[in-house]
Amino acid sequence: MLSPIIIGQVIVNGLSLSAIYVLIALGFTLLFGIMRVVNFAHGAFAMLGGYALYYLYGKYALPYPLAVPLAALIVAVLSLVLETLVFRWFYQKMFQSMIGLLGLNMALMFSSVIVWDVYERSIPPAFSGVLRLGGLILAADRLMVIGIAIIALLAFWLFMTKTRYGVAMRATADDVEIAEAQGIDTRTIYRLAFLVAIFMTALAGGLYAQIYALSPFMGERPLIVAFVVVILGGMGSIPGAALGGVILGFTESILSTFYGAAVSSFVSFGVVIALLIFRPWGLLGKPE
Amino acid sequence: MTDTTSETVRVGELGPTGAFERKAQDAGNHRVRNLLILAFVAFAALWPLVHENTFLLTMGTLVALSVIGATSLHLIIRTGHISFAHAGFMGVGAYVCVLLVMKLQLPFAVSLAGGAAAAAALALLIGPVVLRLTGKYFVLVTFLLGEIIRMVFVEWTSMTGGSNGIFGIPAPYPALAEPHAFYYFALAAALLCVGFCARILTSEVGRAMDSVRESERVAQCSGIPALQLKVTIFVIACALAGVHGALLAHFLHYVDPSSFGMVDSLNLVVMNVIGGMNHLIGPIIGSVFLTILPELLRGYVELQRVIFGIILIVVMAALPGGILELTARVRRLLASRRS
């Protein structure tokens, strides 16, 4: 049962799932940590990322390394309209944001049903071959996903730690009033954080849609993933989102390989509920 | 979340009136309110007589049934928790009742009680644990819990029939096979449920619930056993949700997991939010609104969902108190005009 082929598959699947989950959860945790918004429309943005990649790569056949970031960027920039129209009203209002953004999720999901119909599409894989490494057989497209995610996460980390805007963003997350007193334009920082968060979500959505399938309802799974990962790691904690994503990715990869998808969902939900009850602030979060 | 729920409409705000005048005004308000309730009940009772259309009758039955679900969720909301697993409890009630009727051939009344008891038992099991959580954590846990319950319905094929569900559920009693009879049955159930919730909310228990919602710690200092109270209300509300599910299954003659997922829990929450979360009338307005509007836009299911979403956004951004807050604002405006 534990042949090298299966082990290799479990590891590569685990890593690529982790990579997507971390990207999705980072966007979610960023919106929560800085604006105190629980983004129930998160899955919808991932879905839009999927459609953007479908058009740029599948239809207009742009080169893959260009299509992936461009698709995410287009979704993020267009979403700034939604930031002005919708999100702005819900900043620092946790409860209203949950219900209001559930509404946004519904509106976006069914608008895309109207535009693109319900049937599932597929984005052609960028690479179809396999890589042989010793006894291991690794699928090339999964490795590609891992590579893209690592680049994105590295860029995000550099942005948050090395640039002025990144530092300003962390200051705003810590304390809005003190950040403003230091001369930080928090309104701009909010927009920037929103842009970054949606960029990563749309990027992950594109990769997710390419591995699985693209439909207006594909956002449900990424939304639940974002919840689970962020609760695991701690709401608003960036290292927590990374840790939670890796834990969930590998748990799912291992459990669904050996026991099936249903068992894996039951276990991960059950663990999260147990964690919420005994340690609601998550593994790396701070208790309130 | 206390900032949204504390905006209850206060009668005393209507103007700088003396105690005597205010009392008279209160009595007047109560008379208006009683008349309105009477008119509403009379309208509901006469509804099947004004037309011959079975479609409208079905709508009436569905509204009456969803009033049960929405008002029971309202009880939980009034203790300061928003449960996103309510449709899951509906499903537990529905499946248990249906299985008791169809597999064990028990009479409907016993099965209905069994369904409600099963939902209540599940609530009693998890309530003491999850009700310790506050605000967002409670929402997230119940969200996942609802998904787990739905997954159990899908996966436990031997009992629940999996995604296909169970078909051919008989009418509760032969007499209730006739749509008019079922309408009055559902209406009676809804009125009983609303009356029961109103009795709880206006009693000392209701005031204790309000105080727990506004500040749990202060309530505890005043000697209210907060957790015990919340668990009791949660169990009662989930039992009523089970009744809703069981009646719905017997009305539609089938059950399947897709009626008890996240969307349905969300619908019940939306009924409360759109109607107004601070008063029992809110969920009633909400369930009338949310059951009828989809049917009016039946040909445009997607568009209707988009409109729903936009309504939700607008209501949460501009009117966190729902339609009730709108009427209160209009009344206040009129009052300020008059003086």
Q: Where are the domains of chain B?
A: 57-260
B-interface mutation test, from A28, A32, A97, A98, most B Cβ less than 10 A away: A98
Cα B280 to Cα B175, B185, B243, B296: the distances in Å are 32, 21, 19, 25
Q: Do B302 and A110 touch (CB under 8 A)?
A: yes
* pLDDT (0 to 100) of residue B24: 60
Name the residue in chain B with its Cα closest to that of A38.
B136
Q: Do A262 and B316 touch (CB under 8 A)?
A: no
- Asked if the model's pLDDT at residue B5 lies above 50, the reply is no
User: Among B34-48, B92-106, B150-164, which stretch is predicted with the lowest mean pLDDT?
Assistant: B34-48
Confidence at B18, pLDDT banded by 50, 70, 90: very low
Residues of A with CB under 8 A from a CB of B: 38, 86, 89-90, 93-111, 113-114, 224, 227-228, 231, 235, 262, 265-266, 269-270, 272-273, 276-277, 280
Q: Is residue A97 part of a domain?
A: yes
Each residue's pLDDT tens digit, B73-123: 999 998 888 898 999 999 999 999 999 988 888 888 899 999 999 999 999
DSSP 8-state code for residue A40: T
* pLDDT (0 to 100) of residue B90: 94
Q: Do B316 and A277 touch (CB under 8 A)?
A: no
CB A68 within 8 A of CB A127: no
- Asked if the model's pLDDT at residue B331 lies above 80, the reply is yes
Name the residue among B144, B86, B96, B134 with its Cα closest to residue B287.
B86
**Range with the largest mean pLDDT of A58-62, A230-234, B193-197, B331-335:** B193-197
Which has more pLDDT, B277 or B255?
A: B255
A273 chain-B contacts, CB cut-off 8 A = 141, 144-145, 148
ipTM over 0.85: no
Beta strands in chain A (DSSP E): 130-133, 136-139
Closest CA–CA distance from residue A1 to any residue of chain B (Å): 26
B-interface mutation test, from A95, A97, A105, most B Cβ less than 10 A away: A95
A100 chain-B contacts, CB cut-off 8 A = 312-313, 315-317
What mean pLDDT comes out for the span B213-219? Answer: 88
* pLDDT (0 to 100) of residue B6: 39
Q: Is residue A74 part of a domain?
A: yes
B-interface mutation test, from A106, A217, A225, A235, most B Cβ less than 10 A away: A106
Residues of B with CB under 8 A from a CB of A: 1, 3-4, 82, 129-130, 132-133, 135-137, 139-141, 143-145, 147-148, 151, 155, 266, 269-270, 273, 302-303, 305-306, 308-313, 315-318, 320
Q: Do A96 and B4 touch (CB under 8 A)?
A: yes
CB A199 within 8 A of CB A76: yes
Those residues with Cβ within 8 angstroms of residue B123's Cβ, 6 or more apart along the chain or in another chain: B89, B234, B235, B237, B238, B239
Tokens representing A60 are 């207009």
Name the residue in chain A with its Cα closest to that of B135.
A95
3-class secondary structure, A254: helix
- Asked if the model's pLDDT at residue B55 lies above 70, the reply is yes
What mean pLDDT comes out for the span B281-299? Answer: 81
* pLDDT (0 to 100) of residue B88: 93
Q: Is residue A192 part of a domain?
A: yes
B136 chain-A contacts, CB cut-off 8 A = 38, 94-95, 98, 235
Query: Distance (Å, rounded) from C-alpha A37 to C-alpha A106?
Result: 17
Q: Which residue has the tokens 């799932």?
A: A17
Q: Is residue A226 part of a domain?
A: no
Give the closest of B82, B141, B151 to A266, CB-based: B151
Q: Is residue A264 part of a domain?
A: no
Give the closest of B133, B151, B312 to A280, CB-based: B133
Give the closest of A99, A111, A269 to B148, CB-based: A269
* pLDDT (0 to 100) of residue B113: 93
Closest CA–CA distance from residue B315 to any residue of chain A (Å): 8
Q: Do B136 and A102 touch (CB under 8 A)?
A: no
Q: Is residue A242 part of a domain?
A: no
Which has more pLDDT, B60 or B242?
A: B242
Confidence at B2, pLDDT banded by 50, 70, 90: very low
Q: How far does CA A212 lie from the centroid of its chain?
A: 15
- Asked if the model's pLDDT at residue B135 lies above 60, the reply is yes
3-class secondary structure, A128: coil
Q: Is residue A246 part of a domain?
A: no
Domain count, chain A: 1
Q: Rounded to the nearest 10 degrees, what angle do helices B226-252 and B108-130 cross at?
A: 140
pLDDT by residue for chain A (288 residues), tens digit each? 567 778 878 888 889 889 999 999 999 999 988 888 888 899 999 999 999 999 999 888 888 888 999 999 999 999 999 998 988 888 888 878 888 898 899 899 999 999 988 888 888 887 777 777 766 777 788 888 889 989 999 999 999 889 999 999 888 888 888 988 988 888 899 999 999 999 999 999 999 998 888 988 888 888 888 888 888 888 888 888 889 899 888 888 888 888 887 788 888 888 887 887 788 788 887 776
* pLDDT (0 to 100) of residue A213: 84
CB B282 within 8 A of CB B67: no
Domain that holds residue A101: 4-217
CB A203 within 8 A of CB A23: yes
Q: Do A96 and B317 touch (CB under 8 A)?
A: yes
* pLDDT (0 to 100) of residue A199: 95
* pLDDT (0 to 100) of residue B26: 63
Long-range pairs of B124-130 with CB within 8 A, sequence gap ≥ 24: B124/B231, B124/B235, B127/B230, B127/B231, B127/B234, B127/B235, B127/B238, B128/B227, B128/B231, B129/A277, B130/A277
Q: Is residue A170 part of a domain?
A: yes
Q: Do A280 and B143 touch (CB under 8 A)?
A: no
Which has more pLDDT, B35 or B3?
A: B35
Q: What percent of chain B has pLDDT over 90?
A: 22
A231 chain-B contacts, CB cut-off 8 A = 140
Query: Distance (Å, rounded) from C-alpha B69 to C-alpha B234?
Result: 13
* pLDDT (0 to 100) of residue B124: 94
CB B111 within 8 A of CB B93: no
Query: Distance (Å, rounded) from C-alpha B38 to C-alpha B60?
Result: 17
